[in-house]
Structure 1
Amino acid sequence: MKLGLLVPQQGPSGLWAASAICCAELAVLELNERGGVLGQPVELVSIDAGASGASAASAAEEAIGERGVEAIVGMFPSYARTPVARAIGRRVPFVYTPQFEGFERDKGIVTTGETARELLGPAIEWFKGHGAPKRFFLCGNDYIWPRASLAVARAMIGHSSVGSVVGERYLPLGDQSYHELLACIAASRADVVLPFFLGSEAIAFHRAFSDAGLTSRALRFTPALDETILYGIGERATDNLYASSAYFGAVASRNNGAFLERYHRLHGESPPPANAFGQSCYEGVHCLGSLIEAANTLNAGAVSRELGRTRQHRTARGEDRDPIAGARQPIHFARVDGYDFTVLPTS
């Protein structure tokens, strides 16, 4: 069976390609050790989604029509999800793996990533227990994931009485002119900044935030932060920085420990860092394999119908050794300490 891994290898989210491919390779190796899928060995086909929705849709079309891909696992920004789904047209199963804003209604898309509401919840609870009501400033790239996610944040902040929103700004992808944005943040006297910038754009924002001398004046919280971005930001720019995710390499659990041991056994001592976005492809491949086996067919509709009632054979997340495929996983809230994440209690 040919399994397509559709990830950007360029653009702001291209920095996750190496870890995504390494994590998917491990999952495919494990599937094949179990006998493959439907009695066939799985062949991983890496596909460059490019830097736009149009390029991702074109790559998906070519993968199915010319390269014979029979299922697709995708890890790319939300702006490409609908174009890719339309290009696939339910001809093959499609699993979408990264965190996203939520609200997906297309039954042809199996989503396995965390939603904005899930990721924001632990942070809101933590803020409620730590000091007086906060002044929040919301900012990010100007497309569906930041705008929809921060709309959820605005509503949750209002309903929780944890504070108030004192500013909101968006910048186009590729615009790293942060001077005006940072001046607005400083003028707002915000206690907490929620930056939702994508990949390399996040690295540039956090560096600029530090250079503007704001790290001691406002806490930053974002789910758009993982080990790859953290290493790019640099240790000097990480004061008062917090994140939430269903996966951190630092999570101490049986599932994650076993995953990391196998990951390093396959890829050596210094592979691309296991991170939430890349590791989501490991989850996606195993979720897809389990769904196909349960459906006993590659029919996209039949595969989707197995979601929520089929056991996933491997995971690095949560505590359940064999979770329900597509089930929600625990969300962790963490403080950045230099180049490391320290997972914190939220209750």
Structure 2
Amino acid sequence: MGSVRICLLIPQTGAAGLWAPSAEACGRLAVDELNRDSGLLRRHIDLRIVNAGETGESAGRAARDAIEIDGVDGIVGMVPSFARDRVAEAARDRVPFIYTPQFEGLSPSQKVMATGETADELLGPAIHWLSEVKHARRFFLCGSDYVWPRGCLQIARALIARYGGTVTGECYLPIGEHDFDEILDRIKTTRSDAVLPYFLGFDCIAFNRAFCAAGLSSRVLRFSSAVDETVAYGLECSETENLYAASSYFSSIRSRNNGAFLERYHTAFGDSPPPANAFGESCYEGIYSLAALIEEAASLDARKLARHYGRTLQQRTARGDQAQSVVGGRHPVYLAQVEGYDFSIIDWR
């Protein structure tokens, strides 16, 4: 028997290309660990890194080529939500598809195993904290114009109302558009207490730079689960004032399991690897999720594997070995304050 071929499908260009180096590093770490053990079904794992491109169409085409030309046995995809259905359609009944990043929470296809956190999981604790601890009442919503930001901020609207707040405005820009003047003017004129910016990757860095250049950072709070260590590294230390983020993973989490993960990560990739972050680490989890799925089914057959999507499987994460099914309350959500390049955990649940 030959090797088991796994496709790690990630955008290497465009706004989401920001996470490609850490995604590839985390994926390779997971495969190296599995191969040092017994591989998969006692076969060596061959990891193929595939560029998803910048559109849903390019991601779907890349997935089809990986299946039909490269002969991969499964796809682990860390792609934006606008590409998820195209990849799922390409993989349907042919190979399993594990979708790893946080997402808006709209029900994914039954042909997809989603392992990332939903917007409700991430936004609920954060908006409660902003309302109760920071006394934020007036929220401005903005982001990239596609399903993930729009879905997240639709959920945010309901949560803000639940805690007695008001949405002062909502605005979206096409991916790659960096003219934020209208948004910034509206944040000022509406006297908003907090802004929830859900821009993708490099666009998130551009927005936060513009926000600070407009002189808003000292008096308006910023919160987003779209902000992580990689985004923070694209900012000046002074540009993280009053910036908060939520995630199920930060590299600053103090635990024996995360410490061990980071030690393995740095041993594999040196003292200055791509910064560990939730989007990259999701690929580590995704590889282990696919491995657990295949071992549980004792098969590479996509239709047999699909029967196991809703089951609880034991898998490895940066938080340690844990039982995981699809989505919903699998591990804590952390709220952090961004202080320069550090994410200081201030709350978790």
Give the TM-score category using the shorter length: over 0.9
The aligned residue for residue 124 of structure 2 is 121
Q: Which residues of 2 match residues 138-157 of structure 1 at below 5 A?
A: 138-157=141-160
* Deviations 1:123-167, CA, capped at 9 Å, x for gaps: 122123215451000000111001111000001111232x11111
Asked if structure 2 preserves the Cα contact closer than 8 Å seen for 1:333 and 1:346, the reply is: yes
Rounded Cα–Cα distance in structure 1 between residues aligned with 2:338 and 2:210: 17
User: Cα offset for 1:199?
Assistant: 0.1
Rounded Cα–Cα distance in structure 2 between residues aligned with 1:252 and 1:186: 37
**1:312 pairs with one of 311, 314, 333:** 314
The aligned residue for residue 24 of structure 1 is 27
Asked if structure 1 preserves the Cα contact closer than 8 Å seen for 2:40 and 2:295, the reply is: yes
Asked if structure 2 preserves the Cα contact closer than 8 Å seen for 1:25 and 1:44, the reply is: yes
The aligned residue for residue 264 of structure 1 is 266
Letter in 1 for 2:213: D
The aligned residue for residue 14 of structure 1 is 17
* Deviations 1:242-268, CA, capped at 9 Å, x for gaps: 000011000011221111111111111
Rounded Cα–Cα distance in structure 1 between residues aligned with 2:19 and 2:283: 11
Coordinate RMSD, CA, aligned: 1.4
Rounded Cα–Cα distance in structure 1 between residues aligned with 2:103 and 2:216: 28
Asked if structure 1 preserves the Cα contact closer than 8 Å seen for 2:7 and 2:66, the reply is: yes
The aligned residue for residue 251 of structure 1 is 253
SS at 1:46's partner residue?
strand
User: Cα offset for 1:217?
Assistant: 1.7
The aligned residue for residue 208 of structure 1 is 210
SS at 2:316's partner residue?
coil
User: Cα offset for 1:325?
Assistant: 4.5
**2:223 pairs with one of 207, 221, 224:** 221
Q: Which residues of 2 match residues 81-100 of structure 1 at below 5 A?
A: 81-100=84-103
The aligned residue for residue 188 of structure 1 is 190
Rounded Cα–Cα distance in structure 2 between residues aligned with 1:5 and 1:334: 29
Q: Which runs of 5+ in 2 are unaligned?
A: none
Rounded Cα–Cα distance in structure 1 between residues aligned with 2:185 and 2:213: 12
Q: Which residues of 2 match residues 44-123 of structure 1 at below 5 A?
A: 44-123=47-126
Q: Which runs of 5+ in 1 are unaligned?
A: none
SS at 2:272's partner residue?
coil
Letter in 1 for 2:26: C
Please identify, of 138-147 and 98-107, the stretch whose mean Cα deviation from structure 2 is larger: 98-107
Asked if structure 1 preserves the Cα contact closer than 8 Å seen for 2:144 and 2:173, the reply is: yes
**What is the TM-score when the length of structure 2 is the normalising length?**
0.95
Asked if structure 1 preserves the Cα contact closer than 8 Å seen for 2:103 and 2:148, the reply is: yes
SS at 2:60's partner residue?
helix
